[in-house]
């Protein structure tokens, strides 16, 4: 549930990312991580009140403006976030005063970003502040903020200032000129325009307060219109401020200011807007969600990557695409690469096909720019830009400027030589057509993309009369470590594949839509001779590979380059190019990202040449060890994960998958501050679906041949294929090999002739004795067959439940269930809640709803809703919420060398442990993510014991629920029950609570029972 990079201070729940501590050194990367958006715009996770050296940014897709050196970039738009709180004259900010509590959360389910703070001002006033914001998924032009303010220990004057900042910068460059601004009744507005592209923007804002009488002032300082509200605050009294913002540009309407102010005047309150946003997100997640059980980190992080794609893909505009860094950062200036078509688009294609169509339509709209590029280089047809923006013209910088005063600028050759994108885009167009069967779009737009880009290849190839082969010379392949190569296998085969499909598309068009075929013939000057030329290229293009071994040479002369052993560079923290230099890297067999393996992956689904199992194995063995998979390109790990999974290399597949999965959450490449790795996010989806899910497309639809990673017990998702939804619910035995050993051992210990337990000399043995196991007993005992007492008092570990044992979260669970039940109109009370003690979330919900009929989607939504209510409530927990005697016993056990685990059915156990401040006292955690079978099955406690390295009989379970006691006994463990005898009387020892409990006394009681 927690990342490996604990320095990131992150906790993951099913849907919510929680940051528990503010670290100024991670300011910029966290701004990226906490980005929100709605496909129209993205807003980085900067603070409402500001912070020194912060880089707040809002990018509206398609709003580009000229800039020196890099030609054009997404313009950072006016900042809608400023919300300043002034407490008795002290301005709230995190670099002043004292932070007593800090908690920032991103709720992926609804795109809601919130921050909970307790702050003591320099003057000594303590206040609780809760910020929320979202970019509406129900209305792309609406943005909303809310702030709850609760003085803790003072009465006084609080002022709140809500503003629009009309002076945004792109790392020092301001793209906007102010045109006008103004105010109406409790509303402000701003009008500005980009300096070169002349795109006009209108933004309006309104603010209201509830919980106190406040005076309102409106300031229209140039470029910074502000609404100010001042009120008399009282201790413990909460006041709520709501700020609603609207934004339009001249890309959507001729009068963006009028549109913004008109919409603003008719919008409902924050709560109503939030409900509409939640409903819109619910619909999207119904189609796009992936459920993973058995791996809590992957379960959350996969959803996080999908969230970042969903907030970047336009649902309304087919003249924009998704930049490489999505709408979340300044990296690559908002330019569009092959990343979109090859890595990101498949996710949308199978879950949100309308967005996939928009992304490909962007390439159709930008064909004029691609034609201009081809003409510039002396070629025919359409030559797609390596980096594209609004027009489709090439905007890859010609030079990379060196930050060293005396360093040489670096020539960027991708704009001239990395031409495989000209086949990558048609590859995506073809796949869209195959998956959707959208003939209308194909004949209107897709065919033109494929045919005009094919004409380019006809003019780009060179015929070598000596070889009697067509060649493509002077290129950069997918591997960018080699910048001037001839006959790159990826480029040559993709061009050949493209021409094959271009002929098929033309033939289809001529037969089905002859009028459109004639139109394109005339427009593109597509002659029969051109199509014959394509056939000749297909037959004679050079492809360097050994048909006996199936080994493919990456490019001409690659095998003659100096070999390299990447293992010699183990422990490095940068790319091989950074270590060797650009010039030297060109001379080595070291690869930035999959090239031959990328080709095999793209040909894998259709089993087109050169893909076959032997070719995959041979080329994997050669190229994988030579690929800089850790610090080369972030595009590589997901592809390696899929192919490794195909090859049965499960551990390796999972390892590189996690590199891709956590690239932004853990900032494992050190560049998350530049923006989200959009291609990696798309690659993650492909790795889960096509790699671990093993999805293959057949004439009858997609089928799964899954090979789930160790620990994954369930993988659930849906795919849209040719107009129909296909649901997949892939499962794997939950009990891992290790837990299976524990269960076998349990079976032996419960048999009529149980074996002796390990002696002191072998107490760390984890495998059961080698003897045949009798039939497995029931996971829960019957009243007529009591389980035997453990045969040893050699106790080495304690396993504590949380609720009712170390802390009393039972009340919080009850309140959350009660709120849900009230919303659903289901009778529920405290008496009914008693039956839920120690029971899993799903089992609890099923008990509450009884025989009422709900769909699986509704059940999952209700579980998540209840969890959200509970998670919100536990944010206020502190070490003071530990029950009497808990910390004293934990400390005593630690001093005695006893291992400690938590065994809680809650999926929020880690959050509670963090809040209680006992993480340093716990050696292992078994929570709701750890096992499939809940209490009273023993699996959870067996898992905990295994994590501690102990046998069941060496473990004491402390529980307050009958189901927990039953589970402990079924696991062959000692059971200590807390509470009334009628509830926990089956335990070996029953105590009223932990208050006053001493380890020495408890040990004596258990020893007596053992004797």
pLDDT in tens, 364-389: 999 999 999 999 999 999 999 999 99
**177: phi then psi, degrees, rounded to nearest 5:** -115, 135
What percentage of the chain reaches a pLDDT higher than 90? 77
Measuring CA to CA, which residue among 87, 189, 80, 187 is closest to residue 129?
87
The confidence band for 744, taking pLDDT boundaries of 50, 70 and 90, is: very low
What percentage of the chain reaches a pLDDT higher than 70? 93
Round to whole Å and give the CA distance between 60 and 74. Answer: 8
Q: Convert the pLDDT of each residue in 595-623 to its tens digit.
A: 999 999 999 999 999 999 999 999 999 99
Per-residue pLDDT at 700:
87
Whether pLDDT at 769 is above 50: no
Mention every residue, 6+ apart, whose C-beta is less than 8 A from residue 95: 24, 51, 52
Q: Which two tokens stand for residue 163?
A: 């503003």
In this structure, the chain runs to a length of 1011
Mention every residue, 6+ apart, whose C-beta is less than 8 A from residue 746: 938, 942, 952, 970, 971, 972
Mention every residue, 6+ apart, whose C-beta is less than 8 A from residue 199: 63, 64, 65, 75, 193, 249, 250, 251
The DSSP line for 142-166 is EEEEEEEEEESS--EEEEEEEE-B-
How large is the average pLDDT for residues 772-801?
56
How large is the average pLDDT for residues 987-1005?
92
Round to whole Å and give the CA distance between 369 and 419. Answer: 15
CA distances 171 to 32, 57, 59, 80, 922, Å, are 15, 10, 13, 18, 45
Round to whole Å and give the CA distance between 863 and 881. Answer: 25
Report pTM: 0.79
Round to whole Å and give the CA distance between 398 and 422. Answer: 19
Q: Which two tokens stand for residue 766?
A: 């984890």
- Counts of helices then strands in the chain (DSSP H, E): 32, 34
Whether pLDDT at 348 is above 90: yes
Q: Convert the pLDDT of each residue in 255-279 to its tens digit.
A: 999 999 999 999 999 999 999 999 9
Mention every residue, 6+ apart, whose C-beta is less than 8 A from residue 245: 80, 142, 143, 144, 145, 164, 203, 204, 205, 264
Round to whole Å and give the CA distance between 865 and 722. Answer: 33
The DSSP line for 523-548 is HHT--HHHHHHHHHHHHHB---B-TT
How many Cβ atoms are within 10 Å of 287's Cβ, its own excluded?
Answer: 15
CA dihedral 1003, 1005, 1010, 1011 (to 10 degrees): 110
**Residue reference for tokens 């999505």:** 326
Return the sign of the alpha-carbon dihedral for residues 83, 88, 89, 91.
Answer: negative
β-bridge mates for residue 229, sequence order: 160, 216
Q: Which residues are catalytic?
A: 480
> Do 934 and 839 form a contact (C-beta atoms < 8 A)?
yes
How large is the average pLDDT for residues 573-591?
94
Cβ burial 56-78 (10 Å sphere, 16+ → b, else e): bbbbbbbbbbebeebbbbbbbbb
Q: Convert the pLDDT of each residue in 706-725 to its tens digit.
A: 999 998 999 999 999 999 99
Q: What is the 3-state secondary structure (H, E, C) of 645-705?
A: HHCCCHHHHHHHHHHHHCCCCCCCCCCHHHCCCHHHHHHHHHHHHHHHCCEEEECCEEEEC
Per-residue pLDDT at 929:
77
Containing 497, the helix (H) or strand (E) segment is helix 489-512
Per-residue pLDDT at 792:
61
**799: phi then psi, degrees, rounded to nearest 5:** -120, 115
Per-residue pLDDT at 789:
62
How large is the average pLDDT for residues 498-502?
98
> Do 714 and 731 form a contact (C-beta atoms < 8 A)?
yes
**Residue reference for tokens 């290790």:** 738
Per-residue pLDDT at 859:
85
Round to whole Å and give the CA distance between 497 and 127. Answer: 64
Q: What is the 3-state secondary structure (H, E, C) of 348-409?
A: HHHHCHHHHHHHHHHHHHCHHHHHHHHHHCCCCCCCCCCCECCCCCCCCCCEECCCCCCCCC
- Lowest average pLDDT, out of 226-235, 656-665, 1002-1011, goes to 1002-1011
Return the sign of the alpha-carbon dihedral for residues 595, 597, 600, 604.
Answer: negative
Whether pLDDT at 786 is above 80: no
Rounded to 10 deg, the angle between the 841-849 and 856-874 helix axes is 120
- Residue 936: asked if its preceding bond is cis (omega within 30°), the reply is yes
Per-residue pLDDT at 915:
87
Per-residue pLDDT at 674:
97
**Residue reference for tokens 């335990």:** 987
- DSSP-derived 3-state class of residue 14: coil
- Residue 610: asked if its preceding bond is cis (omega within 30°), the reply is yes
Round to whole Å and give the CA distance between 102 and 1001. Answer: 40
Q: What is the DSSP letter of 87?
A: E
Q: Convert the pLDDT of each residue in 38-54 to its tens digit.
A: 999 999 999 999 999 99
Measuring CA to CA, which residue among 549, 677, 539, 717 is closest to residue 617?
549
Round to whole Å and give the CA distance between 357 and 436. Answer: 10
Mention every residue, 6+ apart, whose C-beta is less than 8 A from residue 392: 363, 365, 366, 367, 368, 369, 370, 384, 385
Cβ burial 239-276 (10 Å sphere, 16+ → b, else e): bbbbbbbbbbbbbbeeebbebbbebbeebeebeebbeb
Round to whole Å and give the CA distance between 953 and 419. Answer: 66
Per-residue pLDDT at 861:
81
- DSSP-derived 3-state class of residue 817: helix
Containing 64, the helix (H) or strand (E) segment is strand 58-67
Per-residue pLDDT at 7:
61
Whether pLDDT at 951 is above 80: yes
Here the contacts of 396-403 (C-beta below 8 Å, separation 24 or greater) are: 396/335, 397/69, 397/70, 397/71, 399/69, 401/69
- DSSP-derived 3-state class of residue 947: helix
CA distances 603 to 427, 431, 722, 928, Å, are 10, 12, 21, 40
Containing 29, the helix (H) or strand (E) segment is helix 27-33
Round to whole Å and give the CA distance between 612 and 650. Answer: 20
CA dihedral 306, 312, 314, 315 (to 10 degrees): 40
Measuring CA to CA, which residue among 935, 943, 921, 554 is closest to residue 746?
943
Mention every residue, 6+ apart, whose C-beta is less than 8 A from residue 797: 898, 899, 900, 901, 923, 945, 948, 950, 954, 955, 956
Q: Convert the pLDDT of each residue in 843-861 to its tens digit.
A: 889 889 988 888 777 887 8
- DSSP-derived 3-state class of residue 170: strand
CA distances 785 to 499, 780, 781, 970, Å, are 74, 10, 6, 11
Per-residue pLDDT at 899:
95
**Residue reference for tokens 């999952």:** 860
Measuring CA to CA, which residue among 872, 822, 868, 874 is closest to residue 848?
822
Q: Which two tokens stand for residue 614?
A: 């032997």
Mention every residue, 6+ apart, whose C-beta is less than 8 A from residue 503: 531, 534, 535, 538
Q: What is the DSSP letter of 343?
A: I
Whether pLDDT at 249 is above 60: yes
How large is the average pLDDT for residues 739-768?
36
Q: Convert the pLDDT of each residue in 435-472 to its tens digit.
A: 999 999 999 999 999 999 999 999 999 999 999 999 99
- Lowest average pLDDT, out of 245-254, 314-323, 959-968, goes to 959-968
């Amino acid at each position: 549930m927690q990342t490996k990079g604990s320095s990131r201070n992150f906790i993951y729940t099913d849907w919510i990312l929680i940051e528990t501590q503010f670290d100024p050194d991670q300011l910029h990367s966290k701004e990226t991580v906490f980005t929100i958006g709605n496909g129209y715009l993205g807003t980085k996770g900067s603070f409402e009140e500001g912070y020194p050296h912060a880089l707040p940014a809002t990018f509206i897709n398609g709003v580009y403006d000229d800039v020196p050196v890099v030609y054009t970039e997404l313009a950072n738009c006016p900042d809608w976030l400023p919300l300043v709180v002034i407490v008795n004259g002290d301005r709230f900010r995190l670099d002043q005063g004292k932070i007593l509590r800090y908690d920032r959360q991103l709720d992926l389910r609804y795109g809601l970003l919130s921050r909970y703070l307790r702050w003591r001002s320099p003057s000594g006033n303590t206040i609780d502040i809760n910020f929320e914001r979202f970019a509406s998924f129900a209305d792309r032009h609406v943005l909303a903020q809310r702030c709850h303010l609760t003085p803790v220990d003072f009465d006084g004057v609080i002022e709140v200032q809500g503003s629009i900042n009309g002076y945004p910068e792109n790392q020092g460059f301001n793209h906007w000129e102010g045109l006008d601004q103004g105010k109406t009744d409790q509303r402000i507005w701003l009008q500005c325009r980009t300096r070169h592209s002349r795109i006009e923007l209108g933004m309006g804002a309104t603010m209201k307060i509830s919980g106190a009488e406040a005076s309102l002032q409106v300031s229209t300082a140039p470029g910074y219109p502000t609404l100010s509200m001042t009120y008399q605050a009282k201790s413990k009294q909460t006041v709520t401020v709501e700020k609603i913002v609207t934004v339009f540009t001249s890309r959507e309407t001729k009068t963006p200011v009028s549109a913004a102010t008109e919409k603003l005047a008719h919008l409902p309150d924050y709560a109503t807007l939030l409900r509409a946003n939640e409903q819109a997100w619910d619909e999207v997640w119904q189609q796009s969600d992936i459920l993973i059980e058995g791996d809590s980190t992957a379960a959350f992080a996969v959803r996080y990557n999908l969230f970042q794609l969903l907030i970047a893909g336009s649902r309304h505009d087919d003249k924009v695409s998704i930049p490489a860094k999505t709408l979340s950062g300044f990296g690559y200036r908002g330019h569009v690469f092959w990343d979109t078509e090859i890595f990101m688009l498949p996710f949308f294609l199978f879950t949100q096909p309308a967005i996939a169509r928009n992304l490909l339509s962007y390439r159709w709209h930008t064909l004029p720019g691609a034609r201009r590029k081809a003409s510039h280089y002396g070629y025919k047809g359409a030559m797609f830009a390596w980096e594209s923006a609004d027009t489709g013209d090439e905007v890859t910088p010609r030079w990379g400027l060196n930050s060293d005063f005396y360093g040489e600028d670096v020539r960027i050759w991708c704009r001239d030589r990395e031409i495989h994108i000209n086949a990558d885009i048609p590859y995506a167009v073809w796949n869209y057509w195959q998956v959707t069967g959208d003939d209308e779009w194909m004949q209107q737009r897709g065919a033109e993309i494929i045919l005009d880009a094919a004409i380019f290849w006809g003019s780009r190839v060179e015929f070598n009369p000596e070889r009697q082969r067509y060649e493509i010379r002077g290129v950069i392949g997918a591997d960018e470590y080699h910048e001037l190569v001839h006959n790159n296998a990826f480029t040559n085969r993709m061009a050949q594949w493209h021409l094959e499909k271009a002929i098929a598309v033309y033939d289809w068009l001529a037969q089905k839509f002859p009028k459109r075929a004639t139109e394109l013939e005339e427009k593109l000057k597509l002659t029969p001779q051109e199509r014959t030329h394509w056939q000749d290229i297909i037959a004679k293009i050079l492809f360097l590979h050994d048909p006996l071994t199936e080994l493919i040479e990456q490019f001409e002369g690659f095998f003659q380059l100096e070999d390299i052993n990447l293992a010699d560079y183990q422990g490095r923290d940068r790319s091989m190019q950074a270590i060797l230099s650009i010039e030297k890297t060109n001379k080595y067999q070291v690869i930035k990202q999959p090239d031959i393996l990328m080709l095999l992956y793209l040909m894998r689904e259709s089993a087109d040449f050169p893909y076959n199992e032997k070719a995959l194995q041979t080329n994997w063995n050669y190229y994988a060890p030579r690929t800089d998979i850790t610090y080369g390109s972030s595009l590589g790990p997901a592809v390696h994960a899929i192919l490794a999974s195909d090859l049965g290399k499960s551990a390796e597949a999972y390892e590189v998958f996690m590199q891709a999965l956590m690239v932004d959450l853990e900032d494992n490449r050190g560049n998350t501050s530049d923006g989200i790795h959009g291609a990696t996010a798309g690659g993650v989806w492909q790795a889960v679906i096509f790699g671990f899910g093993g999805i293959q497309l057949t004439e009858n639809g997609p089928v799964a041949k899954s090979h789930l990673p160790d620990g994954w017990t369930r993988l659930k998702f849906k795919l849209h294929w040719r107009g129909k939804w296909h649901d997949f619910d892939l499962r794997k035995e939950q009990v891992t090999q290790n837990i299976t050993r524990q269960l076998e051992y349990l079976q032996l210990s419960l048999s009529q002739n149980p074996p002796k337990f390990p002696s002191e000399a072998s107490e760390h043995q984890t495998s059961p004795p080698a003897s045949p196991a009798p039939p497995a007993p029931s996971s829960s005992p019957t009243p007529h067959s009591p389980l035997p007492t453990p045969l040893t008092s050699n106790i080495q570990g304690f396993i504590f439940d949380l609720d009712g044992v170390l802390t009393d979260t039972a009340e919080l669970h009850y309140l959350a269930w009660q709120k849900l039940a009230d919303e659903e109109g289901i009778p529920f009370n405290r008496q009914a809640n008693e039956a839920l003690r120690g029971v899993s979330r799903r089992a609890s919900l099923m008990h509450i709803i009884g025989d009422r009929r709900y769909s699986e989607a509704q059940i999952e939504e209700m579980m998540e809703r209840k969890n959200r209510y509970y998670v919100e409530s536990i944010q206020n927990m502190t070490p003071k919420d530990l029950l009497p005697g808990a910390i004293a016993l934990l400390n005593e056990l630690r001093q005695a060398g006893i291992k400690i685990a938590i065994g809680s059915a809650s999926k929020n156990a880690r959050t509670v442990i963090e809040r209680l401040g006992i993480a340093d006292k716990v050696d292992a955690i078994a929570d709701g993510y750890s096992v499939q079978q809940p209490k009273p099955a023993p699996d959870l406690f067996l898992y905990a014991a295994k994590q501690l390295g102990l046998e069941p009989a060496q473990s004491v379970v402390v529980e307050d629920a009958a189901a927990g006691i039953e589970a402990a006994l079924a696991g062959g463990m000692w059971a200590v029950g807390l509470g009334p005898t009628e509830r926990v009387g089956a335990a070996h020892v029953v105590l009223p609570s932990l208050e006053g409990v001493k380890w020495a006394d408890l040990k004596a009681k258990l020893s007596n029972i053992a004797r």
